[in-house]
Amino acid sequence: MNLSFRWYGESDPVTLDAIRQIPGVGGIVSALYDVAPGVAWTADAVTSLRERVEDAGLALTCIESIPVPEGVKLGTDDRDRLADAWCASVEAVGGAGVPVVCYNFMPVFDWTRTDLHRPLPDGSEALAYFEGELAEVETALASGGLPGWMDAHSPDDLRRLFAAYAEVDTERMWDHLGWFLERAVPAAEAAGVKLAIHPDDPPWPLFGLPRVVTSAAAFGRVCDLVDSPANGVTFCTGSLGADPQQAPGLAADAARLAGRGRLHFAHLRNVAHVPTPGGADGAGRDFTETPHPDGDVDLAAVVAALKSAGFDGPLRPDHGRQIWTERDNSDVRPGYGLYDRALGATYLRGLWDAATPPRS
């Protein structure tokens, strides 16, 4: 296991120097955030990022992520060109010596919350999703008052994309993913890179858009689309664990995927399900993110399963709360401050060490 930490580049208020001081953290997860989707990365640009990380005494363990252009997900006429550019980016990552690429196949939005600053009883703030508040988000999208987590598209772009996705149902979305992987996986194999698809977050339909990677069973289907060790997954306990039906089985799911050699990257965080009288499907889809040791996901069991299965890839604490002075700092990206993720990293390191048999 390579304990890693996400870094958003030179504009990130969390510095590499600060990350280096977190016990056990030796890896960085980052990307070329200034390159638009559909534009091919260069090996020189990735190498420059890797050298910047190495100059700080750390290693670039994973690229998160190379965005898959909407045209590929929609199956538009220019998808060949867009997929070629994506594959060229993977080749650049491999040429720079970075072993893993995380990506997702979520339409329009790569994650959704209804609240970025939900107060918790301990005085901290956390990302949260409440089904009853989703209508307010839809109203904001329609009026052009984009919420804080949605800054990649203009209101006009959103209207165009929503109209286009109205013609794409779930099975057609699966077809588009299969088409993409038939091109991306051979490029990854040739580049010596492992692809790791991230699950939809949260793992259920939103805004009438098709969603495909919503469960461990869907992970299996992804791996079967192109049966190659280079075609794997990012196991995110916060995304899958948001579904109260899936949370209890996450350790077994992690063991199965890792044992198959397809779990290439791990995002570990926790969520607390909030009981609701009228959640969609009666399932109770309201949740808040929590400190790593708390919540409804048994992270100790997940880490033990990964250790037992021989997982040796990058693993990072995912979102954290805004705690201490970060609650009042508008420069801090919600979910990606330093303090709570650092606490999460040391907790995960402790779980990993505890799952290791004592030396004789």
pLDDT confidence of residue 135 = 83
* Residue 143 confidence class, pLDDT cut points 50, 70, 90: low
* Residue 149 confidence class, pLDDT cut points 50, 70, 90: low
Q: pTM for the full model?
A: 0.93
For residue range 270-309, what is the model confidence (pLDDT) as tens digits?
999 998 665 454 457 899 999 999 999 999 999 999 999 9
For residue range 150-209, what is the model confidence (pLDDT) as tens digits?
666 777 788 888 899 999 999 999 999 999 999 999 999 999 999 999 999 999 988 889
**What does CATH list as the number for 2-354?**
3.20.20.150
Residue 345 in tokens: 């990293």
Domain range list for the chain: 2-354
Tokens 């994973």 sit on residue = 62
Is the model's pLDDT at 66 over the cut of 50? yes
List of E strands, the chain: 2-6, 27-30, 59-64, 100-104, 115-119, 125-129, 194-198, 231-236, 263-268, 270-273, 287-290, 314-317
pLDDT confidence of residue 282 = 47
Nearest to 253 by CA among 199, 290, 205, 289: 199
For residue range 222-240, what is the model confidence (pLDDT) as tens digits?
999 999 999 999 999 999 9
